[in-house]
Structure 1
Amino acid sequence: METTGNLEGFWKDAKGNLVAPENVRESDKLADSIVRELHYKAQKINAELIEFRQAALDDIRTHLALVVEKYGVKLRGKKGNRVLYSFDGSIKITINIQDRIKFGEELVAAEELINECMAEWTHDANPNLRTIVEKAFQADADGKISVYRVLDLLRLEIDDERWRKAMTAIKDSIRVIDSKEYVRVYERDGDGEYKALPLNIAAA
């Protein structure tokens, strides 16, 4: 396991400075030991989760390929939103594909059109609508706009030609960067409801 000190026994601090061991507090040495031990264990768990995910995807793809093969069909590409059940129905495993998207320059046109609508509707506009619109185009600290907030605007039914053009611009601005497959395992509880089996520390 990785150690903090170099060959001469000095400890390297967060700034890269070498500190003599007698100048390092015992509490810091203990914390360092605990953190490194937990990090080592977490790395092993992470590796096992990655291995499990790939094995699950491979097993399910193989099963689906065998099922459709007898009908003379071949699976092409990634297939998402698949569900497999245990024979007694107590367990289900799903594969879901989630696209990661960003917005192109058409979003600028959408924002301008929506701003025109908001300016005209200033006195009559629902305050909740204004809040939704304003939040949709607010960038975070990294300059990124929330995908979910912008897409939420598409759910609003507003009878205005400029609004409809803005919604079209939003749709045209969507760019799919990549897709990621997720494997989720569910267990049926005493009430017959499927509960996800936590496979990450935060949800456990």
Structure 2
Amino acid sequence: MEGNITPNGFWKDAKGNLVAPGNVRESDKLADEVVRELYADARRINEELATFKRNALDDIRTHLALVAEKYGVKLRGRKGNRVLSTFDGTIKITINIQDRIKFGEELVAAEVLINECMAEWTHGANPNLRTIVEKAFQADAEGRISVYRILDLLRLEIDDDRWRRAMAAIKDSVRVIDSKEYVRIYERDESGEYKPLPLNIAAA
């Protein structure tokens, strides 16, 4: 509970106001204590996971470098989609690199072209197609457009010059912001299927 008590013994509420201890309900004090204890444990686990990830990536990179050195080659840059497994095949570890992307101003041209298509196809277009297109350009509460929905449009084969130009504009609009590495561990069950070892609180 000490984390919420100021030097003069008062409690600080969510708005920053100081509240006398006698005016704080016992249930609120207990909730504060439980949350702070769980938070401390979660922070420790989070730091351990971060350390594990760094060590795992370092160990795997070292192993790959040694293998490359054996054959007289040098690895350049980060490489994703690597798989290492135990000799008996019961455990495997994968490294994947996922690019984080955003869209440039070309996306505006793509949207204009697609809207032209939709306006012309209003009476003949498949309603499912209209739903896909309309949802693709809907921004969330923070003004962000779904990358996956936009890229899904590239999978639609439509024989129309404006549509093809729109798809070209979408491709040209893609900007890679950064890349993130993921370490995933799998263990093989009795049926021979690889099951991921959960390393996040939601899947555990």
- Report the TM range for the smaller structure's normalisation: over 0.9
Aligned twin of 2:43: 43
User: Is the Cα contact below 8 Å between 1:13 and 1:19 reproduced in 2?
Assistant: yes
Separation in 2, partners of 1:19, 1:82: 55
SS in structure 1 of the partner of residue 4 of structure 2: coil
- In the TM superposition, what is the alpha-carbon distance from 1:52 to its structure 2 partner? 0.2
SS in structure 2 of the partner of residue 43 of structure 1: helix
RMSD: 0.9
Aligned twin of 1:183: 183
1:202 and 2:202 are equivalent in the alignment: yes
Aligned twin of 1:110: 110
Aligned twin of 1:89: 89
Separation in 1, partners of 2:187, 2:150: 34
Q: Which amino acid aligns with 1:174?
A: V
Separation in 1, partners of 2:110, 2:203: 37
TM-score (ref. length: structure 1)? 0.98
Aligned twin of 1:74: 74
Gaps of 5+ in 1: none
Q: Deviations over 1:102-153 (max 9, x none)?
A: 0000000000111111111111111110100000001111111000000000
Separation in 1, partners of 2:150, 2:75: 34
Q: Which amino acid aligns with 1:127?
A: P
SS in structure 2 of the partner of residue 157 of structure 1: coil
| Runs of 4+ displaced beyond 2 Å | none
- In the TM superposition, what is the alpha-carbon distance from 1:179 to its structure 2 partner? 0.2
- In the TM superposition, what is the alpha-carbon distance from 1:2 to its structure 2 partner? 5.6
Aligned twin of 1:54: 54
- In the TM superposition, what is the alpha-carbon distance from 1:203 to its structure 2 partner? 1.1
Q: Which amino acid aligns with 1:176?
A: V
Separation in 2, partners of 1:3, 1:146: 39
Q: Deviations over 1:6-62 (max 9, x none)?
A: 112111111111111111111000000000000000000000000000000000000
Separation in 1, partners of 2:8, 2:122: 70
User: Is the Cα contact below 8 Å between 1:113 and 1:162 reproduced in 2?
Assistant: yes
User: Is the Cα contact below 8 Å between 1:81 and 1:96 reproduced in 2?
Assistant: yes
How many aligned residue pairs are there?
Answer: 204
SS in structure 2 of the partner of residue 101 of structure 1: strand
The share of aligned pairs that are identical, in percent, is: 81
User: Is the Cα contact below 8 Å between 1:2 and 1:36 reproduced in 2?
Assistant: no
SS in structure 2 of the partner of residue 176 of structure 1: strand
User: Is the Cα contact below 8 Å between 1:187 and 1:197 reproduced in 2?
Assistant: yes
Show the 5 A alignment for 1:116-155. Answer: 116-155=116-155
Gaps of 5+ in 2: none
Separation in 2, partners of 1:158, 1:19: 65
TM-score (ref. length: structure 2)? 0.98
Separation in 1, partners of 2:77, 2:92: 23
User: Is the Cα contact below 8 Å between 1:188 and 1:194 reproduced in 2?
Assistant: yes
